[in-house]
Structures are given as C-alpha cells and as structure tokens.
Amino acid sequence: MASNTMTPVSQPVSLAERPDFNVIGEIIQPGSRVLDLGCGEGALLAWLVENKQVLARGVEIEAAQVRKAIARGVSAYQGDIDEGLADYPDKAFDYVILSQTLQETRAPLQVLREMLRVGRRAIVSFPNFGHWTVRQAMLFTGQAPKTKLFPYDWYNSPNIHFLSINDFEDLCRQSGFPIEKRYFLSGSSRVSFLPNLLAQTAVFLLG
Amino acid sequence: MVVETKSAQFDSIALDSGATLTPVEIAYETYGNLNADASNAILVTHAFTGDAHAAGISHDAGKPGWWDNMIGPGKAFDTDRYFVICSNVLGGCQGTTGPGSINPATGSPYAMTFPVITIRDMVRLQRMLIDSLGIRRLLCVAGGSMGGMQALEWAVSYPDRVLSTIPIATTWRHSAQQIAFNEVGRQAIMADPDWSDGDYYDKKPPARGLSVARMVGHITYMSDESMREKFGRRLREKEKFGFDFGVDFEVESYLRYRGNQFVSRFDANSYLYITKAEDYFDLTNGTGKLAEAFRQSDTRFLVISFTSDWLYPSYQSQEIVRVLRRINGDVAYCDLQSNYGHDAFLVDIAEQTELVKGFLASTARMAKAA
C-alpha cells in the first residue's frame, strides 16, 4: 500500500447519489453532536465533519462498512441499532439520524422512541412505499414490487417493514412524535404536490 | 531500517505494592522523527513476551521487530508521519529492570525478591520515559493483548497525556479463564526442580517448566480452525504412529519447538511476574464500575477484537465499548473477521492497518484543529 493513501476524509464525498443527504446537511447546525444509525461507510458523517464541523458518531452492523467508516476517520462502532441505543444517556446528541434504514429495523417504533430519547431531535429518511411506481408495479404484476426505489427481490430484500409517507405521518400522530419539518423529494428535487404519490424519498425532522 | 535498542535510567520508581525500585532502567527503541512541537509521538506497548524491538531490523541479532508489519514507512504506524516509541515492560527480561536484573543492594539478581508489579507500574515507568523524551502528550498509545491493557491504563491513569488509544484483542480486567491459563504456566515453571525457588541465575534454568508454560500459551494464542489448517492430524516425518511417546504429530513438534526456542530468549521469573501483573489487572480496582474509571478521560478510542480470539474474546472488548458509549465517549469499534485466534493482531494485519491508519489520521487532524 502506498504511503499517500492516508487522507480519506478529504476525499470528496458524493452526495449526489443520496439526495436525502443534502436535506440532512441543510438541517444540521454546525458544531452539533450527531449520531448516525446505520451509518454504512460513514459518507454522510464524513461530509458533516468536514462541512459542518459536527461531533460525529456512527453505528453500523456490517463489519466491512464499519471498517471503511473508521478508515475515513469516523468514530463508528459495529453494533445493532435495535439494541445499541439503550446504552446512550438521555439527550446525548443534538441529532440522531436514521437515513434510509427505518424500513430495515426489526422494531421501528422502539427505534424511533429511543432516537428521541438520546437525541434532542431525530432525522428520519425513508423510501416512500406509496410512490406511484410501486403502486403501478404491484397493480400490473400482482407481485411484490421491484422498482428503482425498492430494487430487491422479496427474498433477499433488507427491507422488512414497508411504509408510505402517510403511514409515517399516522405513526407520528398516534405515538405523539412531534414533526418539526418534512421534506419530500423526487430525485433531488422537492415535491410539494401529492407527496405520498409523487415523492420517492421523505425526510422528517422530529423533536 | 537497522535499529538499536536504547536505554534510560531513573533514580527510583514507586510501585503499587508499596515497594520502591532503586534505580530502574528501561530499554526502548524509536522509529521516525519527533516533530518540532512533539505532537506526533505514538507509544506502542508490547504483549506478554514481547520486547522493545517492535520494528526494523535489530542491530545485534538482525531480526525484524515483533510488529514490523505494522510500523514503518507507509505502514499503519507510518514512520514518515509519526514518531513511534516502544519500550520493554517493567519486570521484563529484555533490557528493562526485572527479576533477572542485579539488585544493587546485594550484587546478585533480584530473583524472587523482586517486588510484585502491576500493569499500572509498567505504565508509570513508560510515562517517566515519555517525560524524559520531552513529550507532553502522546498522539496515541496502541497495543494488543497485554499491550492493550497498558493502552487502557494510560487513558485512565494519565488522561491528559494521551489523545487516543488503540486497545486491541484485550480486556479491562483479567477473567477467570485468563488467570487460569497463567496459573498453569506458573505452576509448570515452579514444579521444575531447576527453578530452585527462583535462584537459578548461576545454574541451569528451569527450561522444561518454562517450555511447557510456553506450549500452553501457544495453544491459547491460536484457534481450533487455525490449528486444523496448520497441522490437522499430520504426522511428523513419519507414515504411521510410532507407538511410543516421541513426537508423532506435527502439532506436538511445533509446540515443542516453540517451547524450546522460548527458553533461550525468556527468563522464567519474568514469566511469573508478568503473568501476575496481568492477573491483577482490573481497570476498576475491583469495584467493577468501569464508567467511573473512564469518566476523567476524554481520550479517543479505537477498540479492535477478532472473531476467533477465544483467549481475549470479543465480548470483553464490547464491554469496554458499551461503557464508553454510556458515558458518551469517543469510541470506534470493529470485530475483525479472522481465523488466527488471539495471534490475529500480530499476523492478520491488512484490515487492522486500514483501521489504524484512518483513526490516527483523523486524531492528528483533530489535534491540529484544537
């Protein structure tokens, strides 16, 4: 390995592939304490450290991804989101982020409650199962939808809970999670009309 | 890179047991260059039977250091960027004062009159060395196994002297199983008539006992899988069983070889003292309240464990990580996949290198920004 492979964080982080990252970057105040649940290779956290000088922590279950996150300088640890939050003290973070991962957790409601306990605010983004392409696929094929948003076959999908924007709004209302802001995206553009039908991704700021 | 072991002497050191050692000597090596503001120094701490020769080729014996694959230009501990220090532990037998050293009061080796030492004593002597080198704050203390215990102890005893630590394949307190294996090793040595209550320095050393102790140790450093791969049931230079008690199996030959080789480089009394220090190791001094121990420390941590390490199993590292999380500490953790057992931190270094490099670079950046 060459000796000049050492400055991983200064590598430009491509946020273009993940439009929700732009919104999250917009929400987060500089210098805040941020926990990213399911941080993957730490791309979002590295970007936030570099551009918002945040104090960054990440949790990720996949060893290979944790390795890459740590290699780029992010304090990530290998652990399970469903269990891992219990250790943190109340309000340890300004923001707890769950980016495109809610639909993969075993106990989403429990995770959301814990996020609001350890964080002053929670940022939740997820792919919208109510999007028209999903509805269309289901209607015309009669099979578990396989779309750009949900590209997996039913048997190897990491997604175990499917939710639409309206489902999430309902849950927040029922559980008393205060919604501070909502952002609806199609690609990287904002959607203001019929979001549950037209938005691919939703980002909610709770707290 | 040819390196020479250096030595520093201090008038005395006060020990946890209440005893004082007068004087005390510490053997150490350094690699790379200390920068102008002395902010790039990393202390690497060795495991049980290691020594100060961590990297490069030794001047005297022409041997590579025990972590030469991790320390050097472009390696995990990049000597083009960092000034790396490694010293032999207190109680050791490779240049630092230990039971085989001459007691100036008697003119003979200390042998069993050497005071019982602790991991914290080892770290105290390292701090004296760091002071004498003009380093106020270490960028990092890193080590595996007993080296990891020292790294943790640095974070707890001298939190303002160390920015980050990398404890690898280690524990915050020695477990019953770890104490048990150490005790078998000690009993093997003390059961050897040549041990002579430790007074063997002008006689034949307890080679058989020390060799058996090492054989047990080696088994605990490997894994079922790595032994199966390395030896299986292969016979040693024969086609069928000898129907005697000579060497039949490859694994027997390997263990005997390792045992015999060890005797020529290690002092049996050091084995007793260092294993005792490991067994006494408990960061919480018996309270079990690890969060309290870490509370004074704002050190960054990179904790690494290995999936097949059954001597220092991953759960012990995870206990450290959980507690650091509970106090909102800065901790990164990865359980690296390896078949090499406890030895993984010495041999399976590709992924470990990736972690260490990134962690050190980000720590250095944070230090510069602060």
Segments making up each domain of chain B, as ranges: 2-174+283-369, 178-276
- pLDDT category of residue A7 using cuts at 50, 70 and 90: very low
Report d(CA B125, CA B90) in Å as an integer. Answer: 7
- Residue count of chain A: 207
- Two tokens at A116? 């609001």
Report d(CA A178, CA A173) in Å as an integer. Answer: 8
pLDDT tens, residue by residue, A76-128: 999 998 777 888 999 999 999 999 999 999 999 999 999 999 999 999 999 99
Q: A-chain residues within 8 Å CB-CB of B305?
A: none
Q: Are B109 and B103 in contact (CB under 8 A)?
A: yes
| 3-state SS class at B324 | helix
Nearest CA of chain B to the CA of A91: how many Å? 10
Of A6, A68, A87, the CB nearest to B325: A87
Report d(CA A80, CA B340) in Å as an integer. Answer: 25
CATH code of the domain containing A103: 3.40.50.150
Task: Report if residue A41 sits inside a domain.
Answer: yes
A77–chain B Cβ distance below 8 A for any pair: yes
Inform me whether the pLDDT recorded for A3 exceeds 90. Answer: no
Q: How many CB atoms lie within 10 A of CB A142?
A: 7
What per-residue confidence (pLDDT) applies to A21? Answer: 86
Nearest CA of chain B to the CA of A129: how many Å? 33
With CA atoms as reference, the chain B residue closest to A91 would be: B328
Report d(CA B365, CA B32) in Å as an integer. Answer: 19
- Two tokens at B112? 């069993």
Residues 6+ positions from B55 with CB-CB distance below 8 Å = B1, B3, B29, B31, B64, B65, B67, B68, B70, B71, B72, B77, B79, B84, B86
Q: Are A11 and A41 in contact (CB under 8 A)?
A: no
pLDDT tens, residue by residue, B103-153: 999 999 999 999 999 999 999 999 999 999 999 999 999 999 999 999 999
- pLDDT category of residue A9 using cuts at 50, 70 and 90: very low
Please indicate whether, in this complex, the C-beta atoms of A70 and B359 are within 8 angstroms of each other. yes
What per-residue confidence (pLDDT) applies to A16? Answer: 53
- What percent of chain B shows pLDDT beyond 70? 100
Q: How many CB atoms lie within 10 A of CB B327?
A: 19
3-state SS, B4-58, equals: CCEEEEECCEECCCCCEECCEEEEEEEECCCCCCCCCEEEEECCCCCCCCCCCEE
What per-residue confidence (pLDDT) applies to A17? Answer: 63
- What percent of chain A shows pLDDT beyond 70? 92
Q: Which residues of B339-359 are buried (b: 16+ CB within 10 A; e: fewer)?
A: bbbbbbbbebbebbbbbbbbb
What per-residue confidence (pLDDT) applies to A178? Answer: 97
Is B145 catalytic? The answer is yes
Inform me whether the pLDDT recorded for A5 exceeds 50. Answer: no
Which residue reads 């304090």 in tokens? A75
- Two tokens at B10? 């201090």
Class of domain B2-174+283-369 (CATH, top level): alpha beta
pLDDT tens, residue by residue, A184-203: 999 989 999 999 999 999 99
B85–chain A Cβ distance below 8 A for any pair: no
- Two tokens at A113? 């409650």
Is B314 catalytic? The answer is no
Report d(CA A127, CA B174) in Å as an integer. Answer: 47
Strand ranges (E), B120-244: 140-144, 164-168
Amino acid found at A31: G
Triad A43, A49, A54: Cα angle to 5°: 125
What per-residue confidence (pLDDT) applies to A11? Answer: 40
Of A66, A73, A87, the CB nearest to B326: A87
Q: Which residues in chain B come in under a pLDDT of 50?
A: none
Which of the pair, B67 or A10, is modelled with greater confidence? Answer: B67
Write down the CATH number for the domain with range B178-276: 1.10.1740.110
What per-residue confidence (pLDDT) applies to A15? Answer: 57
The continuous run of DSSP H or E covering B300 comes out as strand B300-306
pLDDT tens, residue by residue, A113-170: 999 999 999 999 999 999 999 999 999 999 999 999 899 999 999 999 999 999 999 9
Instruction: Give me the domain span that covers residue A189.
Output: 16-129+162-206
Report d(CA A159, CA A126) in Å as an integer. Answer: 11
The structural domain count of chain A equals 1
- Two tokens at B31? 């690699």
What per-residue confidence (pLDDT) applies to B296? Answer: 87
Report d(CA B23, CA B19) in Å as an integer. Answer: 12
Report d(CA B139, CA A186) in Å as an integer. Answer: 46
Q: Kindly give the residue spans of alpha helices, DSSP state H, lying in chain A.
A: 19-27, 43-52, 63-71, 81-84, 108-118, 132-141, 165-175, 195-198
What per-residue confidence (pLDDT) applies to A19? Answer: 80
Cα atoms in the Cβ-side hemisphere of radius 13 Å centred on B91:
29
- B178-276: same fold as B2-174+283-369? no
What per-residue confidence (pLDDT) applies to A14? Answer: 54
Of A9, A67, A88, the CB nearest to B325: A88
